[in-house]
């Protein structure tokens, strides 16, 4: 994975495979502390403590289509290379939360990537799932949810015009938010 948007897609796909109906994706950036916390929380099937303990092993996967699972080990590697850490909380029948913390002033911090583009792909491909997206930079934040879109009459993103408009809306709001960074960051 070369950026956080790819990690977001990968971890959200794990939530989808776990039959989640609600998926919350958040990025909490703190200028003063030079940190970013990326988290995905779902109400999927959840995992046993034994399964959670095996998740950072690249030769473990619950999928039957292949013998390796690299998504979580790569996420762990990218946050630990910035002196951050990965935390996984899960309970069978309740859901899972994955939190990766990054030090944004570390030269090995990976870029954000196309958050809006990947988010739109998740929304288009999974119309039955309630997604909530949050990017918070200090006290400023941008939020988007499928429930909010539906309240505004946007419940079908399958048309190119509508999905492009929502992607542009996200990009404009994120760009405005990123313009409020006080310091140089390795996130871009």
Tell me the mean pLDDT in the region 102-125.
94
Percentage of residues of the chain with pLDDT beyond 70: 88
Q: Is the dihedral of CA 125, 132, 3, 87 positive or negative?
A: negative
- Write down all domains in the chain, each with its CATH number in brackets: 4-178 (3.30.565)
Quick one: pLDDT at residue 86? Answer: 94
Q: What average pLDDT does the chain have?
A: 88
Q: Is 112 a residue whose pLDDT tops 50?
A: yes
CB atoms within 10 A of CB 126: 17
pTM over 0.85: yes
Most confident of 21-30, 47-56, 65-74: 21-30
Return the pLDDT at 2. 83
CA distance 105 to 36: 10
Query: Predicted confidence band at 68 (pLDDT cuts at 50, 70, 90)?
Result: very low
> 1-5, 75-79, 105-109, 127-131: which has the minimum mean pLDDT?
1-5
Residue, of 67 and 121, whose pLDDT is higher: 121
How many residues does this entry show for the chain? 188
Rounded mean pLDDT, 113-131: 95
Report the Cα–Cα distance between both ends of the chain, in Å, rounded: 15
- 4 contacts 110 by C-beta, under 8 angstroms: yes
What count of Cα atoms within 13 Å lies in the side-chain half-sphere of residue 146?
Answer: 21
User: Predicted confidence band at 66 (pLDDT cuts at 50, 70, 90)?
Assistant: very low
Q: Are 99 and 86 in contact (CB under 8 A)?
A: yes
Q: Which is it for the CA torsion 56, 59, 61, 66, positive or negative?
A: positive
Instruction: Kindly tell me the burial class for residue 82, based on how many C-beta atoms sit within 10 Å of its own C-beta (0-12, 13-18, 19 or more).
Output: buried
Cα 144 to Cα 98: distance, rounded to the nearest angstrom: 20
The enclosing H or E element of 170 equals helix 160-178
| pLDDT: which is higher, 64 or 116 | 116
In angstroms, the CA 114 to CA 132 distance is 17
The mean per-residue pLDDT over the stretch 47-52 comes to: 80
Specify burial of residue 105 (Cβ count, 10 A radius: 0-12, 13-18, 19+): middle
């Amino acid at each position: 994975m070369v950026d956080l948007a790819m990690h977001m897609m990968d971890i959200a796909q794990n939530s989808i495979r776990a039959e989640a109906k609600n998926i919350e994706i958040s990025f909490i950036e703190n200028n003063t502390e030079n940190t970013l916390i990326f988290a995905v929380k779902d109400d999927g099937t959840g995992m046993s403590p034994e399964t959670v303990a095996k998740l950072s092993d690249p030769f473990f996967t619950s999928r039957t289509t292949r013998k390796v699972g690299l998504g979580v080990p790569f996420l762990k590697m990218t946050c630990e290379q910035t002196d951050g850490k990965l935390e996984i909380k899960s309970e069978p029948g309740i859901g899972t939360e994955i939190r990766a913390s990054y030090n944004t002033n570390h030269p090995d911090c990976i870029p954000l990537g196309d958050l809006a583009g990947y988010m739109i792909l998740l929304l288009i491909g999974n119309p039955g799932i309630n997604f909530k997206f949050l990017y918070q930079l200090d006290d400023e934040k941008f939020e988007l949810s499928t429930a909010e879109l539906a309240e505004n009459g946007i419940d079908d993103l399958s048309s190119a015009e509508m999905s492009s408009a929502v992607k542009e809306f996200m990009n404009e709001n994120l760009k405005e938010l990123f313009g409020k960074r006080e310091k140089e960051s390795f996130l871009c």
